[in-house]
Structure formats: structure tokens, C-alpha cells
Amino acid sequence: MFFSMKVMGLNPNSKPFAFAHFLLFLLGNVASAAVFTLQNRCSYTVWPGTLSGNGVATLGDGGFPLEPGAEIQFTAPSGWSGRLWARTGCSFDGSGIGTCVTGDCGNGLRCSGGGVPPATLAEFTIGFAGNGDKDFYDVSLVDGYNVGIGVLATGGTGDCKYAGCAADLNTVCPEELQVRDGGGTVVACKSACAAFNTSVFCCTGEHGTPQTCSATHYSEIFKNACPTAYSYAYDDASSTRTCSGSDYVIAFCP
Ligand SMILES: *[C@@H]1O[C@H](CO)[C@@H](O)[C@H](O)[C@H]1NC(C)=O
């Protein structure tokens, strides 16, 4: 009996062999998933929001509180594409209904849509077999800034460079871009596109191509403070990082 099973296992058409292939297939998928470790290094609570742009999976139920010094982990499956950001000054009732001063996603604790700009974004596409298992990631100020974010790739191979905005842009934000809370403190900094809605600042119309959309006085303030973050729509492509088989530490107030 034992012998016959062993022989059966070597037959490529046998069930055990097919099952071994199925396991390899599963392992292959697990290998390209990425573990996200979110850390709150701010002195205040943030309420991270997550949004999958391609509906692959909702991470962390879409949103949750993260106390100062706390961290939380979840796994972004192979092929996950989406963004994470911090919400600040939130107040939710027992059933999770409420609003935030910055990064609000409209429907309470758990986001089902993107955050309201201005908000600093960490953007990811996790590799899958069809793209050579390569992850793409960046930190973007294209929709403005609220909280510093740093993305550190760990354990992967390839470029895998740090992306982030560690500087506090709220302290250098020009007055015409400032968002203040009820107490008058600057809590976020708008993009020039959001503030002025012109084709030059929004890279639309005749400024809608990489050749005709250029840095502006405002995007340069962002770029100087945060050189490894995207500062405007067609900013230097080197702001996008790539890495394979990596996990990521995403820190707020890095
Ligand atoms: C921005 O300007 C365009 C046309 O110039 C207009 O269609 C659009 O509604 C404006 N957006 C906002 C948010 O004001």
C-alpha cells in the first residue's frame, strides 16, 4: 500500500502531483504578497485610510486609529494596487460615524473612497506574475500634504530605495496654500492645483503632457523639502521606486 502510493505520487497525472503543483502555485502567490507595517511616529493619533484602486482587497477594513508609537501589520496580496494616507483630528462615535479635519474619507472610520485633499499619499502596486513580480511605490504630494510619510522597503531585491516626505511641510507652506484647523494651526498644505485650478498648476489642457507640464514655484517648495516625493503630476519619474519580493514599513512622521 505504502509503495503503491509512492509510485502514484510520481505519476504526473496523479492527484498528489497535481496537488503539489497547486501548493507551488499558492506559494508563488504568497511570495509576491507584501507585508505592510504601519507605524505612527507622530506625537498625535492618526487614523490611516486605505483604498484599493483595483478592488483586489480592502486593507485594515479601510481605516482604523493608530496611537502614537503604535504599529499594525497587514498583508497586501499579489496584484494589490492602492494608496494609504493619514487622517488627523478625527472624531468618531461608537458606530464609527464621524469626520476628520484632514484626509477625511466622508463615510466615517472605514474608508470606501479616497481621502479629501490635501493629504500625503503612499501609493503602491504590488507585483504579480504578469508584471515580473515587481512592486512599484511612491510618496506623492500631488494632492497636497498633511502628515509626513516614509516608505522603507525591507528584504526585497532591485532598486528598493526609500521614498518619503519627512519634513513638516505645514511649517513652510505658503499662506495661500494653508489649511488651518479651528484653532488657527496649519494642519495641511494644498497643492497649487487645488488652490488655483489652472492648467499650469494642474497639468491639464495645453500643459497636459510631460513635455508641457513643468515644476512651478509651489511644487519646488514641496520638492526642496521632500526630494524623494512626487511634487507635481509629471514630476521626475525617478520619484517612483521599484522592488521585488519586499515588505514595507510605512511610517507617519518618519
Ligand atoms: C477647475 O477649472 C475647470 C475649467 O477650467 C472647471 O471645469 C472645474 O470645474 C474647476 N474645478 C474646480 C474644483 O473648481
Percent of the chain with pLDDT strictly greater than 90:
78
Q: Model confidence over 133-183: pLDDT tens digits?
A: 999 999 999 999 999 999 999 999 999 999 999 999 999 999 999 999 999
Buried/exposed code over 31-63 (b: 16+ C-beta within 10 A; e: otherwise)? ebbbebebbbbbeebbbbbbbbeeebbbbbebb
- In this predicted structure, the answer to whether residue 52 has a pLDDT above a threshold of 50 is yes
Spacing, Cα 240 to ligand 1 middle (Å): 28
Q: Which SS3 state, helix, strand or coil, does residue 74 take?
A: strand
Residue 24 lies inside a defined structural domain of this protein: no
Least confident of 161-165, 200-204, 232-236: 232-236
pLDDT-derived band at 7 (thresholds 50, 70, 90) equals very low
CATH code: domain of residue 65: 2.60.110.10
Residue 23 lies inside a defined structural domain of this protein: no
pLDDT score of 107? 76
Measure the CA–CA gap between 251 and 36, rounded to whole angstroms: 10
Spacing, Cα 5 to ligand 1 middle (Å): 70
Helix (H) or strand (E) holding 145: none
- At residue 5, what is the residue type? M
* Cα distances (angstroms) measured from residue 56 to each of 34, 80, 125, 128: 13, 5, 11, 12
Cis before 118 (ω within 30):
yes
Residue 26 lies inside a defined structural domain of this protein: no
Measure the CA–CA gap between 248 and 124, rounded to whole angstroms: 10
Spacing, Cα 209 to ligand 1 middle (Å): 18
Residue 1 lies inside a defined structural domain of this protein: no
Spacing, Cα 235 to ligand 1 middle (Å): 22
Spacing, Cα 45 to ligand 1 middle (Å): 34
Stated pTM of the model: 0.86
Q: Model confidence over 87-117: pLDDT tens digits?
A: 999 999 999 999 999 999 987 999 988 889 9
Spacing, Cα 202 to ligand 1 middle (Å): 10
pLDDT score of 11? 37
pLDDT-derived band at 238 (thresholds 50, 70, 90) equals low
Number of structural domains the chain divides into: 1
Least confident of 23-27, 37-41, 72-76, 167-171: 23-27
Residue 134 lies in domain: 31-252
Spacing, Cα 198 to ligand 1 middle (Å): 8
Residue 179 lies inside a defined structural domain of this protein: yes
Measure the CA–CA gap between 15 and 26, rounded to whole angstroms: 16
Would you say 66 and 37 are in contact if contact means Cβ atoms under 8 Å apart?
A: no
Q: Determine the average pLDDT of the residues in 41-49.
A: 98
Residue 177 lies inside a defined structural domain of this protein: yes
pLDDT-derived band at 31 (thresholds 50, 70, 90) equals low
Whose CA is closest to 126, among 77, 162, 53, 75? Answer: 77
Residue 242 lies inside a defined structural domain of this protein: yes
Residue 162 lies inside a defined structural domain of this protein: yes
pLDDT-derived band at 235 (thresholds 50, 70, 90) equals confident
Spacing, Cα 197 to ligand 1 middle (Å): 6
